[in-house]
Chains A and B, each alone.
Chain A
Amino acid sequence: MLDDIDQQLLQSYQRDFPLTENPFQEIGAALGIEEEEVIHRYQRLQEEGFISRIGPLVNHAKVGASTLVAIAAPPDTIETNAEIINSYVEINHNYLREHHYNLWFVVTAKDEARMHTVISEIESRTGCNALVLPMVKSFYIDLGFKLWQ
């Protein structure tokens, strides 16, 4: 189970993770615990799957091209089509959603040309037309997700 310290470790360092030689020591000092304990807890939280990773969140638009895409896969083809989509290294999210458009994925490529190639290949291999929905504007100020009230 997650105790108060685990919750703080998960909640408070979604942004502004210390950019210093010994970041875990700094976190420990802030929370009043030893560096060793911070490291031990983060290792455990990572092993148990509570943390995907610790690192930079990249603005996809600035290092390449990125878009949300959806296809309406006939129910009996969902699995095969999901495998086709997931086989691309350019796909980093793929969700099955309850809708006529049921496969929703994000394509992130080194440039626009490669992004469109991936989308066209997926269209021809799945036989489905892609709904291509790039972000036009973001209204959200990303402060990290509030996990506990």
Chain B
Amino acid sequence: MTTDRDIITAMQEGLPVCPEPYAAIAEQLNIDEQELHTRIEQMLESGTIRRVGLVPNHYRIGYRYNAMTVWALDDQKVDTIGELLGKQPSVSHCYKRPTQLPSWPFNLFAMVHGRSLNEVNEKIEALRLLIGDNCRQSEVLFSEKILKKTGLRLKNRNPKNA
């Protein structure tokens, strides 16, 4: 029985760039190509897979600046503000996370990317205006260096599939 995990593991390095990429993965899994398509569709429907597509390397394409903005909002306001920030084209991810008082009072995270420092700062200022006085405290954490970046890696439980 080929599990979802087996399929994800077989695809996590990426599809081969060749005329029949799914057939190559199906062969590796020892299943029909049609079954592979169906299983991927099912995982998309159930939400196990968010999307199938290419993963661009933003940094290489020119988005050299990325800032993690963090905001301390009242519990009653965090969802409304989160929805608002999530809709902004300048925001690539927006998540609510728990606080850890006293060291970490921030409960809303929004990632902003840009081709220059100026561009990122302007985008952040625009967010600040949107949020207005709903925010008690905020910080901007620029990334200095990518120390590791890979896709999701599931450990292979079954060495013969390695």
Q: CB-defined interface of A4-37 with B at 8 Å, one 1/0 digit per residue? A: 0000011001111101111111000000000100
State the CA gap A104–B149 with chains docked (Å): 12
Task: Answer whether residue A113 sits at the interface, using C-beta atoms and an 8 A cutoff.
Answer: no
State the CA gap A16–B56 with chains docked (Å): 14
Residues of chain A touching chain B, judged by Cβ–Cβ distance below 8 Å, are 2, 9-10, 13-17, 19-25, 35, 39, 42-43, 46, 48-60, 62-64, 68, 82, 85-86, 89-99, 101, 103-105, 108, 110, 131-142, 144-147
State the CA gap A48–B139 with chains docked (Å): 35
Report which of A46, A48, A82, A140 forms a contact with B94, defined as CB distance below 8 A: A140
Closest 3 CB pairs of A and B: A53-B14, A139-B86, A139-B82
Task: Answer whether residue B72 sits at the interface, using C-beta atoms and an 8 A cutoff.
Answer: no
The reply to whether A59 and B97 contact each other, CB–CB distance below 8 Å, is no
**Residues on A with beta carbons closer than 8 Å to the beta carbon of B85:** 139
With most chain A CB atoms within 10 A of its CB, the pick from B5, B33, B93 is: B93
**A49-B60, A53-B54, A56-B51 are known contacts. Are A92 and B152 too (CB-CB below 8 A)?**
yes
**Residues on A with beta carbons closer than 8 Å to the beta carbon of B139:** 99
**A10-B56, A62-B46, A138-B94 are known contacts. Are A23 and B21 too (CB-CB below 8 A)?**
yes
**A57-B49, A98-B141, A104-B68 are known contacts. Are A137 and B95 too (CB-CB below 8 A)?**
yes
